[in-house]
Amino acid sequence: MGKLYFIFGIHSHQPVGNFDFVFDDAYHKAYQPFLDVVSRYPEFKLNIHYSGILWDWIDQHYSVHIRQMNQLVRRGQVELLSGGFYEPIISVIPRHDAVGQIRMLSRWLREKYRYTPRGMWLAERVWEPNLPSVMAEAGITYSVIDDTHFKYAGLQQDELYDYYATEDAGKLVYLFPISQRLRYTIPFQEPEVTLNYFREVLSDGKDHLLVFADDGEKFGVWPGTFPHVYENRWLERFIEAILANRDWIELLHFSEALEKLPPGGRVYLPTASYAEMMHWALPVKAYHQYERFEHILKDHQLFDEFNVFVRGGFWRNFLSKYPESNNMHKKSLYLSQWAQEILSRDPENALAQQAQDHIWAGQCNCPYWHGVFGGLYLGHIRHAMYTNFLEAEKLLREADPARNKAQVVTLDFDADGHDEVLLESPNLNAYVAPHRGGHIFEIDFLPRNFNIVNTMTRREEGYHKKLREMAAHQQAQEAGAGEGVASIHDLVMVKEQGLEKYLIYDSYQRKVGIDHWFPADIQLTEFQSGHYREIGDFVGQPYSVVESRIYQGSPWVQLHREGHLQIQEQTLPVNLTKAYRIQKTNSIL
């Protein structure tokens, strides 16, 4: 039997703006008990990545953890990884922000631990082919991503027991494939299951490399894992099992593997993330088609062989799937460009540098997408992004007095091919979308760093179908027909019954300044449920910009639409003109 080179790594993170008690709960259930256990086994080498957000919080609240980690680094047990400080999706932020965030976390680790990281963690393992040159510019040598990324490039399973070289514009980095099999066994199955898989991999008599790297929250925060991992001693038993087989298992750090083992070759990977993420990124109709296709393959026993060719969407699809996500993303781009304009003139401008840090904090990936966890739907996380963006805007206004005034900016803010009109002033902003019913999609009250229109449109999600199927299944069972309705592949467990009754969807974006025309007999409950009839054709329809300018010191825009009302059998023409103005002397729109 050959030798198994095993790399063990964890990644831990909490979103910008998350509640303090959530950080604290995760610390006591996962981060600290995990470190306590591995500290008792000096020969168990591992690799650790914390986001900068989490490092800062732990440093402020539990310095003992920092000291303990330092001991593990000093004795050569732990290799630390860098990454984007605020855990952004590196590929969707400006290059100067991406490089700056990686360097920021690397600098933090050098200052705290006198340690220069060679590797980085990619948030949500979102890969795009231009990343090697970004990583190399930031001083990074390697990263770790799912083995499925490599399979999408055509590599077979037996080719995934290596690491690989890749490049962009001649800038070389190395990529380690994370074993999907190990992500499912660790820490959920008994240690012997993992050892048996190691033996299976080595059955060809050759030496091989296997990588486990996954969320640290799996070790205590995920439901049921704290008693399993710590009270039932799973982690201790796992470590002891690995160390007891050191005659054929050798633990390595990533950087040691680079020195000890040659790369398996050169590879170019397509855009990808983990399979679930790419499924979630699909629009609802495609989401359901994807599931049906998977079920067809499984029903015909073809899935295991051909699932690598079944791929969902692309992380950037979230920016088209959710306008709320796109608006935050484009706000960060708008402010980042402004900051760079100032820093290009004055690289040491302290106000612009502070603003840049707030912009980076607003790039934290968590509220920009949604899967099965809250993500975009968590209002307090979205609010934290806008809080940082608006604090950055105030600092930029102070750093750039020429723009610290009332102004009207016309540009394609959200990159949809249509111009928006931004009414800006030192205290209040109003962003208007003429082509979407002339609605206002952002109102910023800068003295309180508050976006009043931080709203969510009620829309269908792919998993809503399962709630309806579950309700129908339960109803059929109660009626005594349970056997007859069952071809449901994936019934779901819910914490609250009757959730399907709240699946109400909007036909328009929930913003401000929407021109509804209702029948005279409309009921409030009809409007709330979305079951009503618009008699006008103004909601979400294009308005023309009559004029936009500074009027008596106030930013002002006037919009017009020639529309119609349908009253009984009559179609009546209606000309509607509306104007928005931010008053010069106070914060009134």
Q: How does 362-385 read in b/e, with b if 16+ C-beta sit within 10 Å?
A: bbbbbbbbbbeeebbebeebbbbb
Phi-psi region of 464 (alpha: psi -120 to 50; beta: other; left: phi over 0): alpha
SS3 545: strand
Set 215, 416, 419, 526: catalytic member: 215
DSSP secondary structure code for residue 203 in this structure: G
* Sign of CA pseudo-dihedral 151, 154, 160, 163: negative
Distance CA(345)–CA(256), nearest Å, equals 43
Burial 423-452 (b: 16+ CB within 10 A, else e): bbbbbbbbbbbbbbbbbbbbbbebeebebb
Confirm whether 215 is a catalytic residue: yes
Phi, psi of 416 (to 5 degrees): -115, 10
Q: How many helices (H) and strands (E) would you count in the chain? A: 21, 18
- Mark out the alpha helices in 346-463 (DSSP H runs): 350-361, 379-399
Q: Where are the alpha helices (DSSP H) in 145-253?
A: 147-152, 180-185, 191-201, 225-226, 234-243
For residue 173, how many other CB atoms are within 10 A of its CB?
Answer: 21
**355: Cα within 13 Å, side-chain hemisphere:** 28
Distance CA 544, CA 426 (A): 27
CB 172 within 8 A of CB 165: yes
Find how far residue 266's CA is from the centre of its chain.
29
Tokens of 311: 């791929």
Which stretches of 346-439 are DSSP H helices?
350-361, 379-399
Q: Collapsing DSSP states into helix, strand and coil, what is residue 451?
A: strand
Q: Any idea how long the chain is? A: 589
**Could you give the angle at the alpha carbon of 146 between the alpha carbons of 145 and 150, nearest 5°?**
95
Classified as helix, coil or strand, 69 is: helix
Residue 119 · residue 265 · CB < 8 Å: no
Cβ 574 vs Cβ 565: under 8 Å? yes
Query: Which candidate in 79, 87, 97, 124 is catalytic?
Result: 124
Q: What's at 374, amino acid-wise?
A: G
The amino acid sitting at 167 is E
Amino acid at 453: V
For residue 222, give both structure tokens.
Answer: 């995920």
Element (H, E) at 328: helix 323-345
Are the CB atoms for 399 and 352 separated by under 8 Å?
Answer: yes
Residue 307 corresponds to which tokens in the numbers above?
């699932």
CA 485 – CA 172 distance, rounded (Å): 55
Alpha-carbon gap, residue 391 to 397, rounded angstroms: 10
What positions carry a catalytic annotation? 124, 215
